Amino acid sequence: MLTLLKKIFIWWNQETLGTKLKTIFFGKLIGSDSFGNKYYESKSRKRWIIYSGEIDASKIPNEWYSWIHFTNNKIENNHDLKKYAWQKPHLFNQTGTVNAYHPNKNNNEIKKKYTTWKS
């Protein structure tokens, strides 16, 4: 019962019931990326994504970014774009995780510059 309520009301958990029905009745699967996200388009040219896992817009790789934003360029129809050896794989936003960037993280120089008044 709780999972049904989550599907109906909680949009940040996964797709809602409305999005699921819209995808079933009106969505045409265009493709998917390496993260497992699925890209859909309706006959009226509306586009949306069904994310795999947590919903985060920074999980859209470069190949699909132009498609979802209706940007016309030469790679729009070629989602299986050839990657070169010097290109890094796409990473979603790492802020708030252990992998977040800090310039002195390896030197253990992350220290408070103040003392708290509560002990």
Three-state secondary structure readout of the chain: CHHHHHHHHCCCCCCCHHHHHHHHHHCEEEEECCCCCEEEECCCCCEEEECCCCCCHHHCCHHHHHHHCCCCCCCCCCCCCCCCCCCCCCCCCCCCCCCCCCCCCCCCCCCCCCCCCCC
Look at residue 98 and tell me if it is in a domain: no
Domain that holds residue 39: 8-92
**Assigned token pair, 7:** 């599907």
Look at residue 40 and tell me if it is in a domain: yes
Look at residue 69 and tell me if it is in a domain: yes
Among positive and negative, which fits the CA dihedral 67, 69, 72, 75? negative
Q: Half-sphere exposure of residue 56, counting CA atoms within 13 Å on the CB side?
A: 12
The string of pLDDT tens digits covering residues 45-98 is 999 999 888 788 888 888 788 888 888 765 555 556 677 888 888 788 888 888
Look at residue 76 and tell me if it is in a domain: yes
Look at residue 53 and tell me if it is in a domain: yes
Look at residue 71 and tell me if it is in a domain: yes
Q: Please indicate, yes or no, whether the overall pTM of this predicted structure exceeds 0.75.
A: no
Looking at the structure of the chain, the number of domains it has is 1
**Assigned token pair, 42:** 């309706």
Look at residue 48 and tell me if it is in a domain: yes
Look at residue 99 and tell me if it is in a domain: no
Quote the CA–CA distance of 51 and 67 in Å, as a whole number: 16
pLDDT for 94 = 85
| Mean pLDDT, the chain, whole residue set | 78
CA-closest candidate to residue 48, choices 13, 79, 19: 19
